[in-house]
Amino acid sequence: MSTSSEVWAVILAAGSGTRLAASVGGVKKQFLLWKGFPLFWHSAITFSHTPKISGIVFVFPPDQVEEMKTVVADLDGADSLGLPFKVVAGGARRQDSVFNGLSVLPAKCTHTLVHDSARPFASGPLVTNIIDTLVSGIPAVIPAVEVTDTIKEVEGDTVKQTLVRSNLRAVQTPQGFYLPILLAAHKMADEKGWDVTDDASMVEMLGSELRGADEYADNIAGMESSKVKVHICAGEETNVKITNPEDLKRIEENAQPVPCVGWGYDVHKYGPGRPMVLGGVPIAGGPQVIAHSDGDVLLHALADAILGLFGGGDIGFHFPDTSAACENMASGIIVTEVLSQAEEAGVEIVHVDLTVIAQVPKLSPHRNLIQKNIAALMGLDKSQINVKATTEERLGFTGEKKGIKAVAAVTGLKRIKKG
């Protein structure tokens, strides 16, 4: 990209979204929350992560533009885009909203990308490819994907003709333009009363007009009229548009779960108290432990690790040793409770790694039963539970047979809740 080229993105979020609003409580689709942010902001983040974008213009419904100036400023304040941005009111039609956005672009802007906020999944590589194509000298470029269905042109309720599928493409946004060409197309559209569904259509019509007009034979906006054509580049199957209620499912389909890890640790002292239990399995002949609950050091470490998956605190907070209700409580109840909290937080547990640290007792005779019991308690397969044991070579607290320790590492996938 040459140093003389400056590219701004125009994000259109001025639509009424009537087809979708009724199914989501009247919320316009561009303001639906996904991963804690409105749909339009996800596109802004993608643009901000693309070094070749110099700034962003947001276009909102006229009756909400003042409110949205504050919203955008707050969003940027919480997690800055690192780019200059402007907020303007849209118009009655899509093309009017686009023109309003183009009208506030800085004088240095040479190219623009026009993007629908209802396409929050457009990727950075797609944006970069469009820009690279533009600055190579192409006046207009739009992403497109092959049509997989047979398309028929109809007249009323009868088929007029079947279109050749190999010649058809489904187009997406962002659509990229050499700015003077797009401005010329808008001017001509206004003069001739064109009503179009996307900016590429307008440029197509401009090119057709110019090629048939002698007065534009030499150039238009610094470009030969014969070269005013719209080119396509590879689009993305994942760059879907949220239009109908069923499209809302795509938000969840495209949401990638975030890996998370919880770590837990617990220790109990040996002494007159409670019979030893590890992983819910009674350990016959093992030392007694001093504890408020049943003293299952392994399940206590596991419960703490599960809480760590979603920032749920620790078992001392949820099950304090000052509570009469927790006295002699089976640790399986504690694990079941924190598992329920993890599920509510959107966490799916995929693996558990447990280690018992003790000089006595020997764990090997009980390892398989502990593994099986914990798998059943957590609703997991045995292969997802690993149980290990080690000593501390007769050193320290456990090496002197004064107590027992356990550590747990739990791996999960966390679904980010909308809003």
pLDDT of residue 293: 84
pTM metric for this prediction: 0.61
Both structure tokens of 322: 């000052």
pLDDT of residue 405: 96
pLDDT of residue 254: 57
How many Å is the Cα radius of gyration of the chain? 31
In CATH, the number for domain 258-414 is 3.30.1330.50
Rounded Cα distance, 398 and 404, in Å = 6
Neighbours of 19 (CB within 10 A): 13
- Residue 410: phi and psi, rounded to 5, are -120, 130
pLDDT of residue 25: 46
Rounded Cα distance, 34 and 131, in Å = 27
CATH of 7-254, one of 3.40.980.10, 1.10.10.10, 3.20.20.70, 3.90.550.10: 3.90.550.10
What residue spans in the chain does CATH classification 3.30.1330.50 cover? 258-414
Extract the residue ranges of the chain whose pLDDT is less than 50: 1-2, 18-26, 214, 216-217, 417-419
List Cα–Cα distances, 302 to 179, 277, 391, in angstroms.
Answer: 59, 14, 19
Pairing assessment for the beta strands 140-146 and 230-234 based on DSSP bridges: parallel
What residue spans in the chain does CATH classification 3.90.550.10 cover? 7-254
Going by C-alpha positions, the residue among 175, 123, 111 that lies closest to residue 144 is 175
pLDDT of residue 22: 47
Both structure tokens of 319: 């099950």
pLDDT of residue 250: 62
Residue type, 361: P
